[in-house]
Amino acid sequence: MSFPKIRMRRLRRSESMRRLVRETSLNVDDLVYPLFVREGKGLKKPIKSMAGCFHFSPDTIAAEAAEVAELGIPAVLLFGLPGKKDDAGSQAWAEDGVVQRAIGEIKKAVPQLLVITDICLCEYTSHGHCGVIKKSTSAQEHKSIVDNDATCELLAKVALSHAQAGADIVAPSDMMDGRVRYIREALEENGFHDVAIMSYAAKYASAFYGPFRDAAESAPSFGDRKTYQMDPANARQAMAEIALDIEEGADIVMVKPALAYLDIIYRARQRFDCPIAAYNVSGEYMMIKSSAEAGLLDEKTVMLETLTAIKRAGADIIITYFAKEFVKS
C-alpha cells in the first residue's frame, strides 16, 4: 500500500480554506490609535511628516475620538504639545495642561473609549530630553545626562495628574530606572487603584522615531537619548527591563519599535504572561506610506502584512497610525 503524497498546497487552494486554517487572527480589538493634541482652538492641522495624521486642539479632539470609537477601536494614546516649555517640563503635570483637558473632552464625548496617556517630559522640556538634566560636576561629564530619580518624581506627578483628569491607562515612555514603582506608589497613595500602567519597558534608542519627533516637537536640542533608551544590539537586557517593570507594578509591557524588534516581542511572549504591546512607530509607518506614494508597493497589502507580523510575533496590543485604515480596509 502506497501512502498519499503530502501536499501542503491543499490547505491554500481557496480563500475560504486559507481562512479556515489561518494561525494568526488580527482584528480591531488589538489596536490602539495615537493622537496628538496641542494648544489652540478649532485646530485640525495635517502633520507634514506623518501622512494622514493631525494635530488637534482639546476642543476638536473629541470628534476624532468619537470617530475612532465608532470604528470599534478600543483605545487612543494621547501625546501633548504644550503652549510653553521649560527645563523641568512643568506643563506636563499642570491641572489645565493640554492633555489633561483633552482627556476631559474625550471622556465627555465617548466615555467608553479607553484613554491612554504618554508619560514623558520630552515634549514639554525646553531641551527636548525625557527628564531633568543633571548639572555638570566635572569636565568629563556629558551635558545630556538625565537625573534619574529627580525625573521619576516628576513622572509620578504627571501620571497622577492624568489619572485625576480621567485617564484609564498611563504609559511611561522615558526609560528611567524605577519609574514604574514611583508611578504605582503615587497612584495607590491617591486612591487610583484601577488606573493601569502600560510601561514602555523595552524602548530602544532607534532611528525610526524621526517623523514622530517632528510631529511632537520633541527632538533633543543637544546630545541623544542613548544614555537612557536601550542599545539596539541588546535582547537579554530587554528581558531584564521587562521583568523589573512587571515587578514594580506594570500591568502591560511594551516593545518599541516593533518591526526591527520582532525577536524581542517573541522572546517576551515566551517568557511573560502579562499583556504585551508593540508600537508600530512613525518611521515604520512612513516607510510604507512613502513607498506606496512612489508606486513601489501596495499600501493596504503591506499594512496588513506588517500588522500581522507584529501579532504573529506575540503582541496582544498594537499601537499603530494605521488603526483607522485597517478598520476601513
CA distances in angstroms from 211 to 201, 205, 223, 321, listed in the order given:
22, 15, 18, 12
Please pick, among 85, 107, 157, 203, the residue that the annotation labels catalytic: 203
Please pick, among 85, 107, 256, 311, the residue that the annotation labels catalytic: 256
255 beta partners = 202, 278
Q: Which helix (H) or strand (E) holds 10?
A: none
324 is catalytic: no
Three-class DSSP category at 293: helix
Alpha carbons 12 and 215: distance in angstroms, whole number:
42
Q: Which of 202, 275, 212, 209 shows the shortest CA–CA distance to 233?
A: 202
> Which cell is 136 given?
555638570
Alpha carbons 66 and 52: distance in angstroms, whole number:
17
Q: What are the backbone dihedrals phi and psi of residue 163, each rounded to the nearest 5 degrees, phi first?
A: -65, -45
CA distances in angstroms from 290 to 52, 200, 280, 284, 296, listed in the order given:
12, 27, 16, 10, 9
Name the DSSP class of 95.
T
Alpha carbons 193 and 196: distance in angstroms, whole number:
8
Phi-psi bin for 220: left (phi > 0), alpha (psi -120 to 50), beta? Answer: beta
256 is catalytic: yes
> Which cell is 210 given?
524621526
Q: Is the dihedral of CA 203, 196, 33, 162 positive or negative?
A: negative
Three-class DSSP category at 146: strand
Catalytic center residues: 203, 256
